[in-house]
Amino acid sequence: MALKPIVEIEQMNRHMVTIQNSAIKMGRWQCCLNCINFVEHTENINGILQTWKQCDLYKQVPPPHVIAVGCESHHDDIPF
């Protein structure tokens, strides 16, 4: 079995990222990025402004795999 050239793999990956981004924006891929509970927080810590996103339902930053694929408590972020 022949290996695919790196350029072809990078093109496929770019295409897949485009598809995934579209699915997330349309709400067809449920994940933290389109969940109403995934909220940005800002806090001044020792004079340095810190910003992060966390799940307000569970009061913590989800692990990376949960951010990517979502969880059973997902609630759509309706944009109106």
pLDDT per residue of the chain (80 residues) written in tens, 0 to 9: 566 788 888 999 999 999 999 999 888 899 999 999 999 999 999 999 999 999 999 999 999 999 999 999 999 877 66
Query: What is the count of structural domains for the chain?
Result: 1
Report if pTM > 0.85.
Answer: no
Q: What's the distance, CA 22 to chain centroid?
A: 12
Q: Is 21 domain-assigned?
A: yes
Q: Is 43 domain-assigned?
A: yes
Q: Give one DSSP letter per residue of 16-77, joined into a string.
A: HHHHHHHHHHTTSS-SGGGBTTEEEEEEEETTEEEEEEEETTTTBPPPHHHHHH--TT--B-
At residue 80, the pLDDT reads 61
CA 21 to CA 58: how far, in whole Å? 25
Q: Is 78 domain-assigned?
A: no
Structural domain boundaries, residue 11 = 7-69
Q: Is 76 domain-assigned?
A: no
